[in-house]
Amino acid sequence: MFKSPHRLQINLAPLAGFALVCAAATQLTGCVVRAGIAVPAPAPVYVAPPPPPPAAAVYSAPAADAEVQASEPPPPLPVYEQPPVPAPGYLWTPGYWAWAPAGYYWVPGTWVMPPRVGFLWTPGYWGFVGGVYAFHAGYWGPHVGFYGGVNYGFGYGGVGFGGGRWVGGGFAYNQSVTNVNVTVVHNTYNETVVNNVTVNRVSYNGGAGGVAATPSPQERAYSQEQHVAPTAMQQQHVQQAAANPALLAKNNAGRPAIAATPRPGAFNAPGVVGAHSASSPPPAMAHGNNSPGAGANKPYGGQAGQNHPGYAPAAAAAHPQTAGGKQPGNQPPKQAAQKPHPQKQERPKENGKREPETALR
């Protein structure tokens, strides 16, 4: 009636195996669930640093302007007289040859008010670089920097400036090289300026026939100073010169009728000065300070324009051009200059006698 224990153990064996399988399945399910809910660690996010603040706008020492280049050298500098300083505080900016598609044109020298007290003008210059003539623009700064060694005259002898200096808050003018009317300007002094460069009319640096000059260590240091671009009046002055066909070198043979003005843009104002012949020094000028030679940028030796490649002056170059633009060299010579004393001639009268008459009737 009752089954034996051995029989019972045999019947319970399948149940124990099923229970073992269920337990294993439960363990595996738990592992899968735990693997499914695992969250990976967040990836690091790169945050860029803030950009540096913009640098202050500073007009650095100008390099050659790539947009202003020419394949031929500029003409020699014309000889002209300096207009008197119009009022205290004005600084002289010498004239120079600029380039346009039509060729070189003259930017007249003029008196300019500086942008701030204590600043001086460094003129621009042409330099031969890489087979072309490139223009280095002028600028304002606390010192006069390198301007190619070009002798522009009126204190700009090729190195530095000897036409005046700042004394306190006012500008004092050197009467030995500057045209000053002492009845208008009283802050003056006399100081001899010694030029240690060859004085000529060459208007560019480097290349064949150019000025052989390099910046000194001091001028290199000045090039690192803060500079100011030409003033609005100076820029307008250049624009007016570019629009005037009479200032083209091919039209005036290197002797512009407007060589210097008393103020920027005053091309038709009283006091405009015309250029003289490059081969003939200008006549003496009546200066307010009665200092000889202060008002002209004429050389102290040699003739201008000689041995200058790429420039052939007109046949009438020996005649100065007046400020009104007339060129005496284009007019026929007057015969009266060859007959200082009129000759007497006789003609017959009705009665057979002859009476004298002059040739100038």
Q: List, run by run, the mean pLDDT of 10-residue segments along the chain (361 residues).
A: 49 58 54 52 66 48 63 96 97 98 97 97 95 96 97 95 95 96 95 72 94 95 94 97 96 95 95 73 36 45 36 35 37 43 44 40 33
CB of 277 within 8 A of CB of 317?
yes
pLDDT at 57: 39
Indicate whether 106 belongs to any domain. yes
Indicate whether 105 belongs to any domain. yes
pLDDT at 353: 43
- Which of 127, 143, 152, 141 is closest to 64 using CA atoms? 127
Indicate whether 144 belongs to any domain. yes
Q: In what order do the strands lie in the sheet with 188-189?
A: 164-167, 170-174, 188-189
CB of 170 within 8 A of CB of 133?
no
Instruction: Give the range of the structural domain holding residue 96, as residue numbers without chain letter.
Output: 58-309
Indicate whether 175 belongs to any domain. yes
Whether the CA torsion 148, 255, 105, 236 is positive or negative: it is: positive
227 by Cβ neighbours in 10 Å (0-12 / 13-18 / 19+) ranks as buried
pLDDT at 310: 36
Indicate whether 117 belongs to any domain. yes
Q: Show the tokens assigned to 75.
A: 């003409």
- Which of 79, 290, 95 is closest to 188 using CA atoms? 290
Indicate whether 50 belongs to any domain. no
Read out DSSP for 282-325? Answer: PPP---TT--TTTTB---SSS-TTTT-TT----TTTTSPPPTT-
- Which of 171, 174, 150 is closest to 160 using CA atoms? 150
Angle at 301 between CA 93 and CA 146, to 5 degrees: 35
CB of 106 within 8 A of CB of 319?
no
Indicate whether 330 belongs to any domain. no
Task: State how many domains the chain has.
Answer: 1
pLDDT at 114: 98
- Which of 112, 123, 117 is closest to 159 using CA atoms? 123
- The SS3 assignment for 18 reads helix
pLDDT at 26: 54
Indicate whether 181 belongs to any domain. yes
pLDDT at 200: 81
